[in-house]
Amino acid sequence: MSIQEPFSDGASVVHRLDPRGRIVVAAIFAILIATTSTYATALAGLALAILCLALARLPLRQVAVRLLVVNSFIFFLWLVLPLTYPGDPVWRLGPLTATRQGLVFTGLITLKSNAIILALIALIATVPVVTLGQALHQMRVPDKLTHLLLFTYRYIYVFEQEYRRLVQAMKIRGFRPRTNLHTYRSYAYLAAMLLVRSFDRAERVFQAMLCRGFNGTFYSLTTFSWQGRDSLFLTASLPVLVGLVFLEWFKPTLL
Amino acid sequence: MSDPLIEMHNITFTYPGSPRPVFQDFHFQFFPKNHLGLTGPNGCGKTTLLHLIMGLLRPQAGNIVIFGQEIKQDKDFIPIRQKVGLLFQNPDDQLFCPTVMEDVAFGPLNQGRSPAEARQIARETMESLGLRGFEDRVTYKLSGGEKKLVSLATVLAMQPQLLLLDEPTTGLDENTRHRLIHILQDLSIPYMIVSHEPEFLNHTVKECCHVHGHCCQPTPVPPEGKEV
């Protein structure tokens, strides 16, 4: 098992765009949609996200799986928010009252989350993590943040293996999780050991980097080439994003 | 005999929190053109010796002279690390870039090469180690033996004048071990190998040192073990 990047290889229009343009557009889009409070903007956003997704030609089944994960969190919002949001009651069940405003609000959150996730899948998940790190680096994102991303990507797999080794070591000595102090203590040891080992490994990796002349700056091999289609993508996206802002301002009432 | 590449005098080193020093008044010399094996029981200080040479650990007392230059402070090690390559025991510690190409090019880039030059050097180094076609492989998905050879490539890409190898054969199958022996026999630079395998050392080094607390005196490897 390792981190999969099922969306990053492809040859669609979206895949061929410069990652930097995609990051900029996706970031602005996510901020706009996250702050919107109208259905019209959220719906327009969802439509745009679906359009991007169609252009990226991604395997729909895997996209659906991702959406399912996100929406399983949102499901809990549906359980709680309509019942706790103050407003006009729509129906009652014993002591519980669902409000119209609560339902409307939860629906808006659902729309917004799905629009953002779809846009991120279409624009960002189609960039391999490594390239993403390098693109962020080129966009003058602080080195520490891009290093964090790249190292997490590289070592999460090693830590997972380490975790599995430790769990196996526990299992072969007859450990079975139960609800008792022994189990909790063993899990605490497991977590602590994983932390200590990660720390040690980080130190050794850093030493190995020093030995190869690392001086705090990463020099990247990748050079990105900004092309005509990237300028086109950016200039075409801007009016659309501005359109979303206008939509938000004029607040056409759908509900 | 010419001047030693590495000289260590009166070195005292104790790991923090450890009651017993690893080295006490330790003396060591390494001469150019030598191929040296470092042996000794676990915990006798073989890896520590290599880390002291690279400046990853600093002794509490004593002085170190490398390439004729006395090391006085941490930053004196920066040019040393450009000339001395250290192959770590565990390749997962050494390979940290996502792809093989980036990892091999990391050292040359740090040496100030342009991306195009670094790519070229990386490609040539990989080719010389029989790793053609590995450029875009993902480092964590390589097999143990491949990881080891790629680690060696990352070190050799910096064109070191001296190579230090820390248990290079651990976990290698017979085939990869033979490949490594041939690679080392073809190298034109001096090197030191920490190893527990007498048979591997027979094929790769001229002298062996048994490392212990005070000194490490070389003894020649019997010549009959030279052929592979």
Cβ contact B56–A210 (<8 Å)? yes
CB within 8 Å: A208 and B88:
yes
Instruction: Please indicate, yes or no, if residue A93 is contained in any of the structural domains.
Output: yes
* Range of the structural domain that residue A179 is part of: 135-211
Ranges of chain A whose pLDDT falls below 70: 1-4, 252-255
**Hey, is the C-beta of B82 within 8 angstroms of any chain A C-beta?**
yes
8 Å CB contact between B85 and A201: no
Between B110, B111, B115, which is nearest A221 by CB? B115
Per-residue pLDDT at B225: 46
Q: What is the pLDDT of residues A44-72, one digit of tens each?
A: 999 999 999 999 999 889 999 999 999 99
Same domain, A112 and A185: no
Residues B120-162: pLDDT tens digits? 999 999 999 999 999 888 887 889 899 999 999 999 999 999 9
Nearest by CB to residue B81, choosing from A153, A211, A220, is A211
Please check whether residue B114 is in contact with residue B189, taking contact to mean a CB–CB distance below 8 angstroms.
no
Please write the tens of the pLDDT for every residue from B33-74.
Answer: 889 999 988 888 899 999 999 988 999 999 999 998 898 888
- Contact in structure between A98 and A90 (CB atoms under 8 Å): yes
| pLDDT in the model for residue B192 | 94
Residue B226's pLDDT is what? 45
**A213: nearest CB among B92, B107, B141:** B107
Do A185 and A229 belong to one domain?
no
Point out the residue among B96, B99, B111 whose CB comes nearest to the CB of A213: B111
Q: Are residues A150 and A168 in the same domain?
A: yes
Going by CATH, does the domain composed of B6-219 fall within 3.40.50.300? Answer: yes
A-contacting residues in B 33-72 (Cβ below 8 Å): 51, 54, 56
In a domain, A71, yes or no: yes
Question: In this structure, are A120 and A143 located in the same domain?
Answer: no
CA distance B133 to B149: 13
| Res. B222: pLDDT tops 80 | no
In a domain, A219, yes or no: no
* Contact between A213 and B82 using a beta-carbon 8 Å cutoff: yes
Q: Answer yes or no: do A141 and A194 share one domain.
A: yes
Q: What is the DSSP letter of B99?
A: B
Closest CA to B51 of A52, A211, A246, A42: A211
At B159-187, the pLDDT tens digits run 999 999 999 998 889 999 999 999 999 99
User: A interface mutation test: which of B15, B57, B75, B93 has the most A CBs within 10 A?
Assistant: B93
Residue pointed to by tokens 């019942």? A83
Q: Is B12 on the interface with A (CB under 8 A)?
A: no
Predicted confidence at residue A14, as pLDDT, reads 87
| Inside any domain, residue A7 | no
A159: chain B residues, CB-CB within 8 Å: none
Q: What is the pLDDT of residue A246?
A: 87
Q: How far apart are the C-alpha atoms of B25 and B214, rounded to whole Å?
A: 6
Cβ atoms of B94 and B106 within 8 Å: the answer is: no
Where do the domains of chain B lie?
Answer: 6-219
Tell me: do A23 and A118 sit in the same domain.
Answer: yes
Residue among A140, A101, A212 at smallest CA distance from B96: A212
| Mean of per-residue pLDDT scores for chain B | 88
B123: chain A residues, CB-CB within 8 Å: none
Please report the sign of the dihedral spanned by the C-alpha atoms of residue B179, residue B185, residue B188, residue B194.
positive
B29 - beta bridge partners?
Answer: B7
Q: What is the pLDDT of residue A254?
A: 55
Domain assignment present for A49: yes
CB contact under 8 A, B56 and A214: no
pLDDT band (50, 70, 90) for residue B223: low
pLDDT confidence of residue B96: 79
ipTM metric: 0.75
Is the pLDDT score of B23 beyond 80?
yes
Name the residue type at position B49. L
For residue A52, with 0-12 CB atoms within 10 Å meaning exposed, 13-18 middle and 19 or more buried, which class applies?
A: buried
pLDDT at residue A1, as a whole number: 38
Q: How many domains does chain A have?
A: 2
In angstroms, the CA A243 to CA A238 distance is 8
Maximum C-alpha span of chain A: 70
Q: What is the 3-state secondary structure (H, E, C) of A147-162?
A: HHHHHHHHHHHHHHHH
**A153, A210, A214 ranked by CB distance to B98: nearest:** A153
Q: Residue A213: closest CA among chain B residues belongs to which residue?
A: B110
Query: Does A154 contact B at CB distance below 8 Å?
Result: yes
Nearest beta carbon to residue B98 from set A130, A158, A210: A130
Closest CA to B8 of B19, B94, B16, B38: B38
- A156 found inside a domain: yes
Any chain B CB within 8 A of the CB of A202? no
Whether residues A198 and A236 fall in one domain = no
Which residues are CB-contacts of B212 (< 8 A; sequence separation ≥ 6)?
A: B40, B44, B45
- Asked if A2 has any chain B CB less than 8 Å from its own CB, the reply is yes
